[in-house]
């Protein structure tokens, strides 16, 4: 591992890090050999899903091997994830329900999506009606 001159800013706070000697080969399915697990980002070469002070809980950190975009929604601190990969409908809704059970997606969103047969999000430039009304009220005539 190369020396780190400054403490890097982690992509997510509060995680455990690991120094991996032999990297995982996704083709063979073999895992890497972990030398150490640490809270010190400068001593690791990977970030783990494990939370440092709650090792029985994890944060979603995945290696996504297909095109994806994370786009801010019009609600500050909310995002829309677009993954460019086809999924059969039943498998898709099974995935959405698993995300609800994990607390990553709102149950009402999935319920409404199941009723209409698809998920949908506003286009990035389309604001919620209440936000659009506030902006038009603020505009001088």
Q: Which of 13-17, 25-29, 69-73 has the lowest mean pLDDT?
A: 25-29
CA–CA separation, 14 vs 49, rounded Å?
A: 10
- Residue-range definition of the domain harbouring residue 77: 68-133
Task: Clarify whether residues 13 and 52 are in a common domain.
Answer: yes
Give the SS3 label for residue 39: coil
Asked if residue 129 is part of any domain, the answer here is yes
User: For 88-133, how does the pLDDT look when each residue is reduced to its tens digit (9 = 90+)?
Assistant: 999 999 999 999 999 999 999 999 999 999 999 998 889 887 765 6
Asked if residue 140 is part of any domain, the answer here is no
Task: Clarify whether residues 45 and 81 are in a common domain.
Answer: no
pTM across the whole model: 0.74
Asked if residue 75 is part of any domain, the answer here is yes
Asked if residue 139 is part of any domain, the answer here is no
Task: Clarify whether residues 49 and 77 are in a common domain.
Answer: no
Last residue of a domain, one of 63, 79, 95: 63
Asked if residue 11 is part of any domain, the answer here is yes
Is residue 32 scored above 60 in pLDDT? no
CA dihedral over 118, 106, 98, 112, signed as positive or negative:
negative
Of the candidates 99, 34, 90, the residue with the CA atom closest to the CA atom of residue 60: 99
CA–CA separation, 134 vs 60, rounded Å?
A: 35
Last residue of a domain, one of 38, 63, 88: 63
Q: What domain count does the chain have?
A: 2
């Amino acid at each position: 591992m190369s020396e780190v001159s400054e403490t890097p800013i982690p992509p997510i706070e509060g995680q455990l890090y690991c120094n991996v000697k032999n990297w995982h080969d996704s083709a063979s399915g073999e895992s890497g050999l972990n030398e150490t697990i640490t809270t010190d980002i400068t001593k690791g070469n990977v970030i783990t899903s494990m939370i440092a002070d709650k090792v029985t809980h994890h944060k979603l950190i995945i290696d996504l091997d297909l095109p994806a975009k994370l786009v801010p929604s019009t609600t500050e601190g909310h995002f829309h994830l677009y993954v460019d990969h086809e999924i059969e409908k039943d498998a898709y809704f099974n995935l959405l329900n698993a995300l609800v059970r994990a607390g990553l997606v709102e149950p009402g969103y999935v319920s409404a999506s199941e009723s209409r047969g698809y998920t949908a999000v506003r286009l990035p430039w389309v604001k919620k009606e209440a936000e659009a009304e506030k902006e038009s009220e603020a505009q001088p005539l």
